[in-house]
């Protein structure tokens, strides 16, 4: 899994922006505080200067007047600089503390958070957003670790079976059941290939790769896919013609394959597939009469390597990734995939946006 998906981007703002002029912003408060800090010393300096000029007004000592005025100006300027620096330092103190907290987080546990000052300004909001981003990064890191652990476990299971079969074949090379052992080993290899292939598909989907799309007839694609299969139970298809979607053929076919494979594993006596058009949407439903999906597990069944105790096992041939891939492909196409209500068994519903009318076809009509 990858992190893409997206924290809040903080953009630099130029002078005169809304933040610069906002009454509650830190930058807008720096100037009033600086003036408040320097106003009393400057006022005192002005009073002293006025008194000195009044006393020396009738005295022809221009050099003394200039010297006194220069000293007073120097003192006033120094006090002003000191006051402004103090006010700016006070205003930027929370930013420096936030920077120090972020520096301490480098390479540390993502469970740590930065301190949020109760200043009611941009610094407080920025610290809050940083903590939200850290929370998302922590959750994604935990999900990635769990995914890697699950994938390792899933791969290790067929590898262990393959190793055992090869060891048996080597231990008894003249065994009459050698062919059956090799067939079992080939089944383990096929399962490994399926898991690795599903992992590659998920990696491409997680990367945000956008595959090229074509205008497809969903009903025709469903009928073509069902003709390729040889399910162990009867499979019926009811597809409306002309249900068009903009989709990648290979990925949409994979969604249908995963949905049909799921139904074939759990169906008791029949599988039903229906394709129809609804306002703005193309709908494909795959129904079976198997044990079904409990309402509490209808979202969990689409998680990666999720298995329901009553209906799924590693021995049924599934990788635990089929429905997760199908939902992610549906979302990438602007659609959705969910488990709906059913009187019996499971009912998986795929909804995709209908393709907009082709201007060429409208002109021809």
- The model carries a pTM of 0.60
Residues in the chain, pLDDT under 50: 1-28, 310-314
Q: Can you give the pLDDT at residue 13?
A: 41
List of domains in the chain: 18-134 (no CATH), 214-361 (3.30.565.10)
Quick check: 38 and 78 in contact, CB under 8 A?
Answer: no
Backbone angles phi, psi at 286, to 5 degrees: -120, 120
Q: Can you give the pLDDT at residue 197?
A: 81
Q: Can you give the pLDDT at residue 1?
A: 38
Q: Can you give the pLDDT at residue 42?
A: 62
CA 99 to each of CA 28, 94, 134: distance values in angstroms, whole numbers, following the listed order: 21, 9, 15
What tens digit of pLDDT does each residue of 74-91 get? 777 777 777 777 766 666
Task: Tell me the two tokens of residue 36.
Answer: 């408040």
The residue ranges of DSSP E strands in 94-202, in sequence order, are none
Q: Count other C-beta atoms under 10 Å from residue 109's C-beta.
A: 8
CA distance 324 to 326: 5
Q: Can you give the pLDDT at residue 309?
A: 52
Q: Can you give the pLDDT at residue 103?
A: 72
CA 150 to each of CA 39, 120, 323: distance values in angstroms, whole numbers, following the listed order: 67, 44, 16
DSSP 286-329: EEE-SS---GGGTTGGGSTT---TTT--GGGS--S-HHHHHHHH
What tens digit of pLDDT does each residue of 7-61 get? 333 334 444 443 343 444 444 455 555 555 555 666 666 566 656 665 655 555 5
């Amino acid at each position: 899994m990858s992190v893409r998906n997206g924290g809040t981007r903080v953009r630099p703002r130029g002078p005169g922006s809304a933040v610069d002029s906002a009454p509650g912003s830190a930058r807008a408060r720096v100037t009033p505080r600086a003036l408040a800090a320097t106003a009393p010393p400057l006022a005192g300096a002005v009073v002293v200067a006025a008194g000195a000029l009044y006393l020396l007004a009738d005295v022809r000592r221009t050099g003394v007047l200039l010297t006194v005025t220069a000293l007073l100006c120097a003192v006033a300027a120094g006090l002003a600089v000191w006051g402004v620096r103090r006010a700016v330092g006070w205003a930027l103190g929370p930013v420096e503390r936030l920077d120090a907290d972020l520096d301490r987080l480098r390479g540390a546990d993502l469970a740590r958070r930065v301190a949020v000052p109760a200043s009611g300004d941009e610094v407080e909001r920025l610290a809050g957003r940083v903590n939200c981003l850290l929370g998302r990064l922590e959750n994604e890191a935990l999900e990635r670790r769990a995914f890697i652990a699950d994938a390792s476990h899933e791969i290790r299971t067929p590898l262990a079976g393959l190793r055992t079969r090869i060891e048996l074949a080597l231990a008894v090379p003249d065994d009459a059941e050698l062919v059956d052992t090799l067939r079992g080993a080939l089944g383990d290899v096929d399962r490994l290939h399926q898991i690795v292939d599903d992992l590659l598909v998920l990696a491409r989907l997680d990367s945000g790769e956008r595959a090229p799309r074509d205008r497809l007839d969903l009903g025709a694609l469903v009928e073509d896919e069902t003709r390729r299969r040889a399910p162990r139970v009867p499979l019926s298809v009811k597809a409306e013609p002309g249900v068009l979607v903009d989709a990648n053929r290979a990925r949409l076919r994979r969604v249908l394959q995963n949905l049909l494979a799921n139904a074939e594993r759990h169906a008791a006596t029949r599988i039903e597939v229906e394709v129809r058009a609804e306002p703005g949407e193309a709908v494909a439903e795959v129904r079976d009469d198997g044990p079904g999906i409990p309402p509490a597990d209808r979202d969990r069944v689409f998680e990666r390597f999720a298995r329901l105790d009553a209906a799924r096992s590693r021995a049924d041939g599934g990788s635990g990734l089929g429905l997760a891939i199908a939902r992610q492909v549906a979302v990438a196409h602007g659609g959705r995939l969910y488990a709906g209500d059913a009187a019996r068994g499971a009912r998986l519903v795929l909804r995709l946006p209908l393709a907009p009318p082709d201007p060429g076809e409208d002109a021809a009509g």
